[in-house]
Structure 1
Amino acid sequence: MRIAAAFVDGADEGLPLPRYASAGAAGADVCANLPDRGVLTLAPGARVLVPTGLRLAIPEGYEVQVRPRSGLAFKHGVTVANAPGTIDSDYRGEVGVLLVNLGTADFTVLHGMRVAQLVAVPVVRADFALDGLDTTARGAGGFGSTGTDA
């Protein structure tokens, strides 16, 4: 599948487009494209919208999910706040990555740093209707209702 991309005005066009780090990678790494080519400091508990400098034309019938990078989450406690974030096929604005620092130390986002991964996913649209619900053994049980043992 091809996803057309364009840089926003003022973006660093020398940074790479999203790209896969390995042959089996499901997500394409996307970089921070900071307008001043500087840094963003993310304090513990804080969140920030990191610009990517990119706009995408996602084919109809697909979405692109914005997912955390496991290394940032493991090493620094930095993750995508609304994971997975969704970029709809009809959105043409700049892609932003909403990072949150769940760690205990400041985290610095550098210009050009890989901050998230993008995963293209097919979308199935549902037709919601008030038709009544069937019954199941689980019923309305949720949030641990099936047990907490391994």
Structure 2
Amino acid sequence: MIKQLINLGGISLFQVLFKRLEGNEDLAIPKRMTEGSAGFDLQASVAEPVVLAPGERKLIPTGFAMAMPIELEAQIRPRSGLAYKHGITCLNSPGTIDADYRGEVKVLLINHGQAPFTIERGERIAQMLFQIVPNVTIIEADELPDTLRGAGGFGHTGV
């Protein structure tokens, strides 16, 4: 069982296990590129370059699986540089990886740019952030408490 490691004044640190899948010994495990980075960069584990045509989407493997405590989820998000420079982003963003998933982590990329984009082996294609998932109980109710907003939505509070 994967456990919470330490609790320092309300800040919890967790242990997440990474397993390189066979044939991916040349790729780095996900890492933060700077000390202040929130996300861990993910690399493409493609055997040969993959071309993503404008409007095309492909599922790109990362070459690893992981195990994390039940209190966490991993979110897959786009890299801002790829989005800005090339129009490459993640669909289903942020994508959620549940704590009980043990398969290979993959990234669903789409090319919103105007030119084909080539994904090379080892290229940083997305980032992964870990978030704490609260333990929530859903309770069915016949009535809900009133609020000032009420049922107003989709632009109800302004422009």
- Distance, in Å, in 2 between the alignment partners of 1:90 and 1:26 is 22
Other structure's SS at 2:62 match: strand
Q: What residue number does 2:8 align with?
A: none
Residue 143 of structure 1 corresponds to 154
The aligned residue for residue 6 of structure 1 is: 19
Counterparts of 1:1-150 in structure 2, within 5 Å, are 1-9=14-22, 11-34=23-46, 36=47, 38-131=48-141, 132-148=143-159
What is the deviation of 1:125?
Answer: 2.8
Give how far 1:12 is off.
2.1
Size of the aligned set, in residue pairs, is 145
SS at structure 2 position matched to 1:20: coil
After superposing on structure 2, the runs of 4+ consecutive aligned residues of structure 1 that deviate more than 6 Å are none
Cα distance in structure 1, aligned partners of 2:81 and 2:16: 26
Amino acid at match of 1:93: G
In structure 2, the gaps of 5 or more residues are: 1-13
Matching residue of 2:4: none
The unaligned stretches of length 5 or more in structure 1 are: none
Distance 1:65 1:127 in 2: 22
- Among the aligned pairs, what percent are the same residue? 47
- Per the normalisation by structure 1, the TM-score is 0.91
Report the Cα offset of residue 33 of structure 1: 0.7
Q: Which amino acid aligns with 2:31?
A: R
Q: CA RMSD in A?
A: 1.2
